[in-house]
Amino acid sequence: MKTTTGVPRLAARFREFPTYPLADVPQIKRELQARGVDVIDLGAGDADLPPPPAAIEALVRAASNPAMSRYAHQLGLPAYREAVSAWMERRFGVRLDPYSEILPIIGSKEGIAHLAFCYVDPGDVTIVPDPGYLPYTGGTLLAGGTPYPVPLRPENDFLLPFDELPQEVVRRARILYLNYPNNPTAAIAPVEYLARAVEFCREQGILLVYDNAYSELAFGGYRPPSIFEIEGAKEVAVEFHSFSKTYNMTGWRIGWAAGGAEVIRALTRIKTFVDTGAFLGVQAAAVAALESWADWVPQNVAAFEARRDAAVAALRAQGFSVETPQATMYLWVPVPGGGASEPFARRALLEEGVVVMPGAALGPGGEGFFRVALTQSAERLAEAAARLGRVA
């Protein structure tokens, strides 16, 4: 019923929204720091490392060029599209037309969330990994659809078991979200699994949304693939990439979507009504970042690998059972004694000044785990592990 005074009631889709993970943590963190507490924040995937110098220099040059301050629109900077296309071919051996099969986006989060508006109607279902990145769920709810969470379990190597989905869910499904290397579990997907996913989506008429934000954060010689390395994937899939993790550019908000011309055209049309493109100066900086990939990224990955090794060793020394991941900037750690994740994370923050992400905040399937982001130095990670050991 419409109210007659004051602000209208909130929309039903808004009321269905989950609370974003640890929404109150910034305020608690500020209060603790104001009391002199040394807070170690390992919650968000927001590294303290610097971006490539070439990207910074390119941004400075672009900022002094008035033409770069104009609307980018969805075309964006042609040099950016062309650099992305060249990088995709160099890295994955995949050829994509820079103007019809690539789209600049304001970070992969924005593009992923808006894509659901293209394909999801009320009554439709999207298949969502649980735990998983919240824009999969948020985009679905905003589009009026119903997210169907599928638990990622250790016994399945944290792979989404799409072959076991109920037929009624499959019949109503419009999108399947996959993210490997995975946030938050750090799992990786064998090529054979990805091939089965492509075939499943082709048979069922489902769009495969492949979130590849961690494609470059891999260790020990492992090279995560693009979904487009799978034969026929371009017919059923769209892939998202981001500069946030690979290049330590989280606040710059730049990424791209890649896929068949029909999918890219649809997302472009939606974005035309909600934004006018990423700042052209940031797109110019992204070109410089891509051009520095071969020389700069390996040293950045080495820094994360050293942090991973230090954190794993320190946590194990405190009695935590933790695997050594082959990719991402995360550790996925069982809560000691099988306890609930949110009380553990709350105690870690209030008693020891350590921020970790409770698994349940990323979906019910994450209960019993907490996520550690490798966003601090090896020394700080070791200190955090010692503090967490006192909470366990």
Which band of pLDDT confidence, cut at 50, 70 and 90, is reported for residue 21? low
Report the alpha-carbon distance of residue 366 to residue 184 in Å, rounded: 9
- List, for residues 204-236, the tens digit of each pLDDT value: 999 999 999 999 999 999 999 999 999 999 999
* pLDDT score recorded for residue 377: 96
- List, for residues 56-97, the tens digit of each pLDDT value: 999 999 999 999 999 999 999 999 999 999 999 999 999 999
- Give the pairing of strands 369-373 and 330-334: antiparallel
The residues with which 240 forms a beta bridge, in sequence order, are 211, 257
What mean pLDDT is reported for the chain? Answer: 95
Neighbours of 310 (CB within 10 A): 18
* pLDDT score recorded for residue 10: 87
SS3 category, 4? coil
Report the alpha-carbon distance of residue 79 to residue 286 in Å, rounded: 10
CA trace torsion 362, 363, 369, 374 (10° rounding): -20
* pLDDT score recorded for residue 345: 94
SS3 category, 369? strand
Axis crossing angle, helix 261-272 with helix 108-119, rounded to the nearest 10: 100
Which residues does 336 contact at the CB level (< 8 Å), separation at least 6? 319, 320, 344, 392
- List, for residues 315-372, the tens digit of each pLDDT value: 999 999 999 999 999 999 999 988 899 999 999 999 999 999 999 999 999 999 999 9
- Please check the confidence at residue 391 and state whether its pLDDT lies above 60: yes
Q: Which amino acid is at 312?
A: V
* pLDDT score recorded for residue 3: 54
- Please check the confidence at residue 16 and state whether its pLDDT lies above 90: no
* pLDDT score recorded for residue 26: 84
- Structural domains for the chain: 12-41+296-391 (3.90.1150.10), 53-294 (3.40.640.10)
**Minimal CA–CA distance to 378: which of 289, 312, 317?**
312
Which band of pLDDT confidence, cut at 50, 70 and 90, is reported for residue 1? low
Which band of pLDDT confidence, cut at 50, 70 and 90, is reported for residue 5? low
CB 181 within 8 A of CB 158: no
Report the alpha-carbon distance of residue 326 to residue 152 in Å, rounded: 17
SS3 category, 237? strand
SS3 category, 176? strand
CB 228 within 8 A of CB 341: no
Which band of pLDDT confidence, cut at 50, 70 and 90, is reported for residue 7? confident
Which band of pLDDT confidence, cut at 50, 70 and 90, is reported for residue 135? very high
For 270, list phi and psi in degrees, rounded to 5.
-60, -45
* pLDDT score recorded for residue 22: 64
What's the whole-model pTM score? 0.94
